[in-house]
Amino acid sequence: MIVSLMLIAVGFLGLIFGANWLVEGSSSLAKKNNIPDLVIGLTIVAFGTSAPELVVNSVASVDGLSDIVLANVIGSNNFNLFIILGIAGLVYPITVQSSTAWREIPISLIISLVLFALANDFFMNQNSEISRLDGMLLLFSFFCFLYYMFKQMKSEKPAVIHYEKKSNSKIWSLILIGFVGLIIGGKLVVDNSIEIATELGISQKIIGLTIIAAGTSLPELVTSLVAAFKKNSDIAIGNVIGSNIFNILLILSVSSLINPIKYNQIFNQDLAILIGGTIFLIIAMFTGKKRKLDRWEALILITFYLTYTTYLVSKEL
């Protein structure tokens, strides 16, 4: 087990550094074209920081590990919303643009509701699963979201951004090395997490919702914390909301296209918490100081998540 834990740690390092290099290269490429901070946060940075989930889920889907696939996506989204946004809000109260409050956060809520309906097969009398057809619908929605972001990018005035100029060769080297680190790290995390879960008699759901979800969300944590310390609210919240949208529309769709995902209805509770947390965030945007996540609201997010996770783990022991 000690060897497996060490290999998981190495895997997480691969995921963190790989995502960091990927984000650095991709962001440099975007900034060269004067793309606004919010768009970078909601697309490029969100994609880069979601890359660990994509790799881990692709590996798990190939192996037919549906519980790992679902637990990683839902668990990562909850970790992003409750812990990462909560910690970022404690560091510096997050004020968002009106477009984020009125559009991006509600889009995230709608997507979570659609996932709940698809997973429970509300539209068809079949066994609960996320089928390849569902995956194609989610992937189509993902491209619609990208189109929406492209339209928003064209309508917004680009921000003046100061950054270290990099050559094209350095940018593409960072992107390539980042992908390699992600792939190797993802494989190490999945294989050794399953080995530990089997040895301890813990369900794949708990391993996915806790260790894997938290580990693959580390890039989002680092990105949003750095943004919070720099008082860049757009990147901080754009990264979290964009990553949550990417996790469902892209990562879950790719996973289901590789292999249909059998849906265990015990995940309904975790999905309900994700939906409730997103509703709480929307309410927070319009109470107190408008479009602002205050420190006390951030503390509520963190406290709730820690309490719920403790409850989940205690049920397994």
* DSSP code per residue over 266-295: GGHHHHHHHHHHHHHHHHHHTSSSTTEE-H
Confidence grade of residue 250 (pLDDT, cut at 50, 70, 90): very high
Go through the domains of the chain in sequence order and give each one's CATH number.
2-316 (1.20.1420.30)
Tell me the whole-structure pTM to 2 decimals: 0.81
Q: Which two tokens stand for residue 72?
A: 């990683």
pLDDT band at residue 147 under the 50/70/90 scheme: confident
Nearest-angstrom CA–CA distance, 242 and 100: 10
pLDDT confidence band for 160 (50 / 70 / 90): very low
236 token code pair? 């901080």
Which stretches within the chain are classed as H helix?
2-31, 37-39, 46-62, 66-78, 85-91, 98-99, 105-119, 132-155, 168-200, 204-207, 213-216, 218-229, 233-246, 252-258, 268-285, 295-316
Say what the pLDDT of residue 267 is. 93
What is the pLDDT, as a whole number, of residue 159? 45
Three-point CA angle 234, 108, 141, nearest 5°: 110
Spatial separation of the C-alpha atoms in residues 44 and 57, rounded to whole Å: 19
pLDDT average, residue stretch 49-76: 87
Q: Mean per-residue pLDDT for 146-154?
A: 75
Confidence of residue 158 (pLDDT cuts 50, 70, 90): very low
pLDDT (average), residues 113-142:
85
Return mean pLDDT, the chain. 82
